[in-house]
Amino acid sequence: MPSTYDKIATQTLGSNQATVTFSSISSAYTDLVLVSLFKNTGGAGNLKIQFNGDTATNYSFTNLYGNGTSASSGRSSTQTAIIFGQADSTQLLLNTLNIFNYANATTFKTTLSRSSDNGNTYSSAGAIVGLWRKTPEAITSLAIFSDSNIASGSTFTLYGIKAA
Amino acid sequence: MPTFTQIGSAVTVGAGGAASIDFTSIPSTYTDLVVKISTRSTIAGTSQDDINVTFNGSGSSYTWRNLLGSGSSAISQNGATAYIRMSAVTPNAGTTASTFSSAEIYIPNYAGSANKSVSIDMASEANQTATYMGLVAGLWSNTSAITQITLTGASGNFAQYSTAYLYGVSNA
């Protein structure tokens, strides 16, 4: 039976680093899933992503968070990256990011992430939808970074989901 | 090794219901675990029961925060309890017939030596008021490998035809 859900690559950081990159991503899949278990070095902050080295203001996102006391929602347009989760230095935080229909050159790319942050004062359950609005092209690389360095011991795994 | 593999047998609750659903003797050979469930409660009434999630039979060191939407409002709750709580997830016996909830529990690095972070997505749509969809961020502050997952109805039992599946995700 053909494999539907494949691991493409995994990175476990042996030292702090500014950016985690997945490059030369095959176009053979339908969707991508990035599973991150991470913390940063600088305390409360954000986890961000850019595609294909694009650092222009081609990104936007809308978020929904519950912090254990109240629910909140916000959005940002014309940004230089998608903020797809929160980051902290005290606890490994879980995030799953779906990138739909990533390999076409006809549509803008949509992401949907789930963040699960608990065990510290910045904790929340959240969902974030993002959009990359550069002239459509297939996604071939991801750059993941935070407000500070990503800490040693963090793990990022990229999976491909194949519809056919 | 395939990336996404069912572990053990599917659980389908029979006539008479079940107080809990257990996955035991979970091997450490995968990277992450995924539990997918479809549940209904035996308790009377038209609201939704909670499900409590525990690991390795432990009743301590759990914290959680959630975000719930009812169709008219959104709320967020938190707890430090003897379980990770999936609030208002399971339709009670008096809700629209033949209606079951859906939920997914994701546990990364379950066999590692760090505390265990848990992400839960859940939804229950019964074509009535007082049904919810929600997200849960959970933490089991325990460095032991997870070898058992137990799901327990907070007030009622799981009704017949409730199901649960355990999958292992491998990044090797």
Q: Do B63 and A10 touch (CB under 8 A)?
A: no
Number of neighbours of residue B117 by Cβ within 10 angstroms: 24
Write out chain B residues lying below 8 Å of A162, CB-based.
none
Residue-wise burial string across B19-49, b where 16 or more C-beta atoms lie within 10 A, e elsewhere: eebebeebeeebbbbbbbbebbbbbeeebbb
Q: How far is B14 from chain A (nearest CA, A)?
A: 31
| Single-letter amino acid, residue A123 | S
Of B63, B106, B135, the CB nearest to A119: B63
CB B103 within 8 A of CB B122: yes
d(CA B78, CA B75): 10
Q: Which residue has the higher pLDDT, B123 or B51?
A: B51
Q: Do A125 and B135 touch (CB under 8 A)?
A: yes
pTM of the predicted structure, to 2 decimals: 0.89
* pLDDT recorded at residue A3: 65
Q: Sign of the C-alpha dihedral, residues A76, A81, A85, A86?
A: negative
Number of neighbours of residue B91 by Cβ within 10 angstroms: 28
DSSP A152: T
CB B164 within 8 A of CB B9: no
Is some CB atom of chain B closer than 8 A to the CB atom of A2? no
Tokens of A10: 């995994």
| Residue pLDDT, tens place only, A8-59 | 999 999 999 999 999 999 999 999 999 999 999 998 889 999 999 999 999 9
Write out chain B residues lying below 8 Å of A10, CB-based.
171
| Residue pLDDT, tens place only, B3-47 | 889 999 999 999 999 999 999 999 999 999 999 999 999 999 999
Burial (CB count <10 Å: 0-12, 13-18, 19+), residue A18: exposed
* Model ipTM value: 0.80
N-term to C-term CA, chain B? 7
